[in-house]
Amino acid sequence: MDRQLSTRAKVGWALGGLAILVYALFPVAWIVSLSLKAPSDLSNQQFLPTRFSLENYREIFTGNASELFLSALRNSVGICLIATFISVVLAMFAAYAIARLEFPGKRLILSTALAVAIFPVISIVTPLFNLWRQIGLYDTWPGLIIPYLSLTLPISIWTLSAFFREIPWEMEQAAQVDGATNWQAFRKVIVPLAAPGVFTTAIISFFIAWNDFVYGISLTSTERARPVPAALAFFTGSSQFELPTGAISAAAVIVTIPVVVLILLFQRRIVAGLTNGAVKG
């Protein structure tokens, strides 16, 4: 009886999982397939390309679209790395204080962070656009890094403070008794313990910034600062009668690759980091 039920349950779960997988991965597969189609195939209403061609990739890396794409890629990588770095460093200080110290306004900081996180981005884009133009931040790297911080900081603070709360701080005291200075205790004991959490937070922050579209499209106008998601919208076909669908698909595939690779490499770390606050070790 028990066994039967569990087999049936297993099949049910498997089917459910499969359905979700297909639902989630189908658009991805479609884009991959589109990116491999030759321009003549693009609207042939078939799922698979009749002939595999790397023409679209050539287009974005060396062809017409390359100027647009490569500079956008450079912008995206640079801006996202800087935003991630700043946000993780700031969040580390904030989370350390939240996890370790009792001070008035602790709850206020956490709830403000949450409020910022759920605040609709679209409603501040227009004021930001005007402000940035006035103070000269429009279409610059800092002009994107600053709003990206507002996206990445709240989640970083939340993840890191959940993580820091789980670190057994008695360890720091043990190190001090063992003869360590405050700095040695921090560097030799706390840093190695906190590293996985910091790492997880950095990856999450990076993705959030990497995936942004609204700020990217509204606060930039040239390839000086335009990130990839925004740049995709400016692709043009090789002639005005051709749609740039192929090139866009190829670029979309390229920007997805770092995400997939990072996730696959650090899957365990991320899961451990995310569940750390919830599950007591």
- Interaction with other proteins in 172-211: which residues (CB under 8 A)? 173-181, 184, 188-189, 192-193
In angstroms, give the least distance from the CB of 198 to other proteins: 14
Q: What is the CB neighbour count within 10 angstroms for residue 273?
A: 22
In angstroms, give the least distance from the CB of 171 to other proteins: 5
CB closer to other proteins, 23 vs 183: 183
Contact 68, 231 (CB under 8 A): yes
CB closer to other proteins, 193 vs 272: 193
DSSP character string of 228-251: HHHHGGG---SSTTS-THHHHHHH
Dist CA 230 CA 232 (whole Å): 5
In angstroms, give the least distance from the CB of 205 to other proteins: 24
What torsion, rounded to 10 degrees, do the Cα atoms 96, 97, 100, 101 define? 170
Contact 145, 80 (CB under 8 A): no
Site string for other proteins, 157-176 (x = CB under 8 A): -----------x-xx-xxxx
In angstroms, give the least distance from the CB of 166 to other proteins: 12
CB closer to other proteins, 10 vs 187: 187
CA angle 61-80-118, nearest 5°?
A: 125
Dist CA 186 CA 82 (whole Å): 25
Q: What is the CB neighbour count within 10 angstroms for residue 200?
A: 22
Site string for other proteins, 112-151 (x = CB under 8 A): ----------------------------------------
CB closer to other proteins, 20 vs 174: 174
In angstroms, give the least distance from the CB of 281 to other proteins: 9
Query: Residues in the site for other proteins, rule: CB under 8 A?
Result: 168, 170-171, 173-181, 184, 188-189, 192-193
